[in-house]
Amino acid sequence: MFVAGEYDVIVIGAGHAGVEAALAAARIGCRTLLATLSMDNIAMMPCNPSVGGPAKGHLVRELDALGGEMGINADKTCIQFRMLNTGKGPAVHALRAQADKKLYQFTMKETCENQNNLDVKQLLIERLLVENGTVKGVEIETGEIYLCHAAILASGTYLRGKIIIGEKTYAGGPNGQRAADKLSASLQEAGVRLMRFKTGTPARVDGRSLDYAKMIIQPGDDEALNFSFMSDVQTRNQVPCWLTYTNEETHRIIRDNIGRAPMANGIIKGVGPRYCPSIETKIVRFPEKERHQLFLEPEGLHTNEVYVQGMSTSMPMDVQIAFLHTIPGLAHAKVMRAGYAIEYDCIDPLQLKSTLEFKSIHGFFSAGQSNGTSGYEEAAAQGIIAGINAAMLIKKQEPLILKRSEAYIGVLIDDLVTKGTQEPYRIMTSRAEYRLLLRQDNADLRLTEYGRRAGLVTDERYSRFMSKKKAIEDTLVWLQDEKLTPNKETLIKLSQAGATPIRTVTSFYELLRRPETNYDALQEVFCLPELSSEVKKQVEITIAYEGYIAKQLEQVSRMEKLENKLLPENIDYQQVPSLRDEAREKLALVRPRSVGQAARISGVSPADISVMLVYLEQQRRLAEVKL
């Protein structure tokens, strides 16, 4: 046995989960190995060339507040930014960037290669080495051993990956990469339960063969936007996307050939994503729909490849070309890469603690699509938490567990480890019960302190954060203290600002509660403090939504009572009287940390929770008697 190296942390896979995990562990001070199947595909975007969107943009902002890299990298490499859902409230505003795919990849690769404490190696890991329930290292295909104190599985869709195009299948990962065929068996030997999922991607077409005059332009926003709270980009050249639609002829071709679809003829056995279905699934599931929208997204500044968003497919190639040519603007489209489906192994996330460590294997963590999620952002968010907690385990410090009331990252991980998933999981704003508190604009105010304690937030970032926080607090106090009297001069100025008259002494704080006015309008006619756009936004939202925010904080406070009732790690649910059999089974499987988490388990009823509370109180009194 040749031991080629020894590390604190080994990260298996260098996709979006893997790079965030490795960077986090290395920056905290752990000697880290990032193992990738190909040095040329670190942080590859095998699907759409974008970052962010509804709820996903929240994850990127939270990741950035903790000290992660995705937001910074997206800001450096984007070719278009848009703020989505601006016609709705701030809780669902969502930033989305079109990235230059290759530049994103190369820039993240450069970041990883130049990170202190981090070695990046091209390795195919085939075995996980476990002794007495503790991870000890990994074995690669050429026989070398790498030892470690903690390991993080971030294998994406590569575990026994199978590419499917029509009737043709072959072993492989995304974009024709190698698959990791032997690691699955090693995981099963270690007692890990695996599931089989499926995802897919659309064809890429040659932009020179498209007729953009028959599509609707989708330009970026005029205002320069950024994901990272550290980015200061003020201007940006933006490349447009284009909108077009399928039609009845498109649908007819798909219906006529549905028997050749792998989803219909039994070739695909894995479970696909409900919220990002293939075009053939859409046609079958929604027969009443006359058309489906498609976005044509450029993949970068130095390529003609264009991504056909909304047309994921695994249909045979002749069918793909036929239905593409029915779409306005794509009548002469030349396919540069075929659409395909990919089946892969992933773990059942119910096997994980809230730290993302396996319950049954000490020091072994999992993050990203290997946990049954979909999307770059979900993967990266899990990656940074796994990286932090692997480092905390090694340093014998408290892990980072974000609550549902603190972050979308908390919602994502809690959903996975409490409820599990029967299909590729996608984060959505509707999954967050406290979404007014978890806005993307206040992610730094919610999470920077956690990143600081973990050792990921630099002095520069923390100084900027504290300055912003103080400016918000000082401004809110000033607005409450400064009052206007209803004299003639004041009434004239209020009219100029578009505000209704006041009848009594009124503070600027009270004025900003009114829907017809805002900070800029008042500042034009009154001497209000000069504020940065970020501070101004926080001030306006805090005041305008004060009542709603207070109600959500009350809800959080009530739930915290259950979240703070921790369950003993060694509790035997068979010994808890009056629990229903289903509840015993589910509680024993998930082994929740708290009563609050137990209440979210499917199959555990409010009556079961009441029984648990009575049992815990009885155990507490027995313990007092023994003392």
Distance CA 280, CA 319 (A): 11
What stretch(es) of the chain map to CATH 1.10.10.1800? 470-551
Q: Considering the chain, what is the average pLDDT of its residues?
A: 94
Q: What residues does 140 pair with on adjacent strands?
A: 125
**Confidence at residue 237, expressed as pLDDT on a 0 to 100 scale:** 84
pLDDT average, residue stretch 310-326: 96
Q: Which two tokens stand for residue 367?
A: 């993050």
Do residues 124 and 180 lie in contact, with contact meaning Cβ atoms separated by under 8 Å? Answer: yes
Label residue 493 exposed, middle or buried (CB < 10 Å: 0-12, 13-18, 19+): middle
User: Which residues touch 531 (CB under 8 Å, ≥6 apart)?
Assistant: 471, 475, 519, 539
Q: Give the confidence band of 625 by pLDDT, cuts at 50, 70, 90.
A: confident
Over residues 32-58, mean pLDDT: 96
Who contacts 127 (Cβ-Cβ below 8 Å, separation ≥6)? 138, 139, 182, 183, 186
The mean pLDDT value for 149-159 works out to: 97
Residues 233-247 have a mean pLDDT of 91
- Which CATH number does 470-551 carry? 1.10.10.1800
Q: Is residue 433 over pLDDT 70? A: yes
Determine the 3-state secondary structure of 49 from DSSP. coil
In this prediction, residues 437-455 reach a mean pLDDT of 97
- Percent of the chain past pLDDT 70, that is, above it, reads 100
Query: 158 vs 271, which has greater pLDDT?
Result: 158
User: In the numeric block, which tokens belong to residue 220?
Assistant: 């970026």
624 or 110, higher pLDDT = 110
Counting other chains too, the contacts that 567-570 makes at CB distance below 8 Å and 24 or more residues apart are 567/591, 567/592, 567/593, 567/594, 567/595, 567/598, 567/612, 567/616
Predicted local confidence at residue 51, as pLDDT: 97
pLDDT, residue 476, reads 97
Tell me whether strands 364-366 and 145-153 are parallel, antiparallel or unpaired: parallel
The reported pLDDT for the residue numbered 235 is 77
What whole-number distance in Å separates Cα of residue 219 and Cα of residue 224?
A: 13
Cα 265 to Cα 18: distance, rounded to the nearest angstrom = 35
> What's the pLDDT score for residue 267?
80
* pLDDT for residue 622 is more than 90: no
pLDDT-based confidence at residue 274 (cuts at 50, 70, 90)? confident
Cβ 371 vs Cβ 416: under 8 Å? yes
Q: Is the pLDDT of residue 627 over 70?
A: no
pLDDT one-digit tens code per residue, 388-425: 999 999 999 999 999 999 999 999 999 999 999 999 99
Structure tokens, 84: 């989505």
Q: What is the Cα–Cα distance from 295 to 241, expressed in whole angstroms? A: 7
Q: What percent of the chain has pLDDT over 90?
A: 88
CB proximity list for 378: less than 8 A, separation 6 or greater: 56, 59, 368, 412, 425, 426, 427
Whether residue 269 is predicted with pLDDT greater than 80 in this model: the reply is no
pLDDT at 444 over 70: yes
Q: Write out the two tokens for 619.
A: 């155990």
Q: What is the mean pLDDT of residues 544-568?
A: 92
Q: What is the mean pLDDT of residues 193-220?
A: 96
pTM value is: 0.95
Please state which architecture CATH assigns to domain 565-626.
Answer: Orthogonal Bundle (1.10)
**pLDDT at residue number 617:** 87
CATH of region 204-341: 2.40.30.260
Q: Where in the chain is the domain with CATH 1.10.150.570?
A: 565-626
Query: For residues 391 and 25, is the Cβ–Cβ distance under 8 A?
Result: yes
Region 22-33: mean pLDDT is 98
Phi, psi of 295, rounded to the nearest 5 degrees: -115, 130
Per-residue confidence at 277, pLDDT binned at 50, 70, 90?
confident
Considering the chain, tell me which residue range(s) the CATH 2.40.30.260 domain(s) occupy: 204-341
How buried is residue 289: exposed, middle or buried, by Cβ count under 10 Å (0-12/13-18/19+)? Answer: exposed
Single out the residue of 115, 201, 121, 127 nearest to residue 164, CA to CA: 201
* Number of C-beta neighbours around residue 362 at 10 A: 15
Instruction: Determine the pLDDT at residue 240.
Output: 96
